[in-house]
Amino acid sequence: MEKIKHYQQIIASTLREYATSNVPGMEDQVLLDFENNHFQLVTVGWNDGKYLFLPLFHLDIKPDGKIWLMANNTDVRIAEVLVSKGVPRTDIVLGFQPQAMRAYSDYAAA
């Protein structure tokens, strides 16, 4: 449980660091669900006459304490950012990759 709380804080602070939209009419929102362990950074708003909702990052913490990266729609290597903040590679799963491919990553397969 302590590990999960620690990872919650790392993820929350990391998402806040990347919430820096400077596009007029657009807003970055950090969505933190500490109870169910779902964390997102989304950009929402109007751009060029169109309403946009863009999930940038989506991370979950599973009951076993592993962080699952469910979406990364940026060029930021968010898993590497987490590693630099002390999260072991063995506690990070690239959930957006097919299960058969995860074994070839530098991270946990599941």
Tens-of-pLDDT digits for all 110 residues of the chain?
Answer: 799 999 999 999 999 999 987 888 899 999 999 999 999 999 999 988 999 999 999 999 999 999 999 999 999 999 999 999 999 999 999 998 878 888 888 888 88
Are 39 and 33 a contacting pair, CB within 8 Å?
Answer: yes
Dig out the tokens for 19 from the structure: 């919430």
DSSP 87: -
> Quick one: tokens of 1?
């449980």
- Whole-number pLDDT of residue 97: 85
CA atoms of 73 and 104, how far apart (whole Å)? 21
Q: Is 42 helix (H, G, I), strand (E, B) or coil?
A: strand
Please, what sign has the CA dihedral across residues 61, 3, 76, 18? positive
- Given this model, what pLDDT does residue 29 score? 96
**Tokens at 84, concatenated:** 């630099």
Q: At 104, phi and psi to the nearest 5?
A: -95, 0
The 10 Å Cβ neighbour count of residue 11 is 26
